[in-house]
Structure 1
Amino acid sequence: MSARILVVDNYDSFVFNLVQYLYQLGAECEVLRNDEVSTAHAQDGFDGVLLSPGPGAPEQAGVCIDMVRHCAATGVPVFGVCLGMQSMQVAYGGVVDRAPELLHGKTSLVEHEGKGVFAGLPSPFTATRYHSLAAEPATVPAELEVTARTHDGIIMGLRHRELPVEGVQFHPESVLTEHGHRMLANWLVECGDQGAVGRSTGLAPVVGRATA
């Protein structure tokens, strides 16, 4: 069964790359801007909600913070990318602040323990980062756990300890990110599409490893 996904577009140029990945994996998508969608729309027959990357801070991202809380309360799986993950940090009371360096298209090695969207992935793997803000490690709320980091400790993944709320700081849809299709397929399994991982085989680009 294909998953029906609501994609909240945070006015980002990458959103349709994410949508293309989801389509390749068999999902159906509806894309709405963050100021054109209400939290209640998540209940209109969707199997999951994806919060896209975008400019600015989570507090400026339209419905995103409220959407995290709504999905958590109603049991709809929600996945955040970049700004979307930062919205999860803020939704539970954490702080998002300036990252140690501004990154635009930089690749880094991401280390993880195989939880959530990282199931079945090698550690480390190469991921592409576009962000000037980051979740402050000392303020990660008790409800959330860190699922991935760079070698210098920048948070690259967050996941709710009990609910289907998860996000990544990097861009899985970037051509320089390894295993991007598999990560999104792992999330689609959580949304109810048990065949997504099988369809992800062979879709991810093969790239060299990062050096930082």
Structure 2
Amino acid sequence: MSPRPQSKVNVLFIDNRGSFAANLVDEFAKRECHTAVHRNDIPAAEALRILDDMPKPRLLVISSGPGTPQTAGCSLALVQCVPAEVPVFGVCLGHQVIVAAMGGTVTRSPVIAHGKASRIAVNASAPFFQGLGGEITAGRYHSLVAYPDERLFEIAARCDDIPMAVTHRVRPMFGVQFHPESILTPQGGRIIENVISWAADMDAEDVRGRP
């Protein structure tokens, strides 16, 4: 199945000073998304104002970076207070931020993975993994792991017993522990395209009036 045509999405990108943040920005830019990049020292209230001023459809992206959700500048507070209709996508640290913001646990990983290509089992019915089958290879760069509150989140991908992707059961929130922008993730571009389509659908549904 080939991906359907992309809708342009307006992206607010919170840069957590990760080594690969610029690569992730490029993935959205080359798919004709309008991307506003701000370091994580921007106040959460200012980031919310920027989001509010953006034309729909919108997407909040929380990037990878060093440290923990608690040291990721405005990221944690922003995810906690972002309007419920705004789609949120987190990568690596950004994924951990989403889980922590919604009451999950972030702890030391039993296996440290820096620059490791791993086979990851994915839920092929999740919109983010559309067209990818049940397993992908993905690049991992992390020493922490996020365990979500499973009353709120579905685990959409795993590597052994480690959650590799989560999706909120009600709100438009999706996080991946791996790096879709990495050369070690051959199908990462398709994942980004799926995220863009998902965000366009979610925020467009809000325009039409979501229940």
2:191 matched to which residue of 1? Answer: 183
CA distance in 2, matches of 1:173, 1:34: 20
Aligned to 1:145: 154
Q: 1:90 aligns with which of 76, 81, 100?
A: 100
State the one-letter code of the partner of 1:126. T
Instruction: Return 5+ residue gaps in structure 2 as ranges.
Output: 1-6, 203-211
Q: Deviations over 1:127-152 (max 9, x none)?
A: 0000000013xx534111100001x2
Deviation sequence 1:158-207 (CA, Å, 0-9, x none): 1100111000000000011021111111111122279xxxxxxxxxxxxx
Counterpart in 2 of 1:205? none
Separation in 2 of the partners of 1:128 and 1:79? 17
Equivalent residue pairs, number = 190
Q: Sequence identity, in percent?
A: 39
Match of 2:4 in 1: none
Once the two structures are superposed, the pairs formed by residues 93-172 of structure 1 within 5 Å of their partners are: 93-114=103-124, 115-136=126-147, 140-150=149-159, 152-172=160-180
How large is the Cα RMSD of the aligned pairs?
1.7
SS of the equivalent of 1:110 reads strand
3-state SS in 1 of match to 2:200: coil
Query: Which ranges in structure 1 are unaligned for 5 or more consecutive residues?
Result: 195-212
- Partner of residue 28, structure 2: 22
Q: Which amino acid aligns with 1:26?
A: E
Is 1:43 the counterpart of 2:52? The answer is yes
Question: What does 1:190-201 correspond to in 2, within 5 Å?
Answer: 190-192=198-200
1:58 aligns with 2:69: yes
TM-score of the aligned structures, taking structure 2 as reference length: 0.85
Question: Is the CA contact (8 Å cut-off) linking 2:156 and 2:165 kept in structure 1?
Answer: yes
Match of 2:206 in 1: none
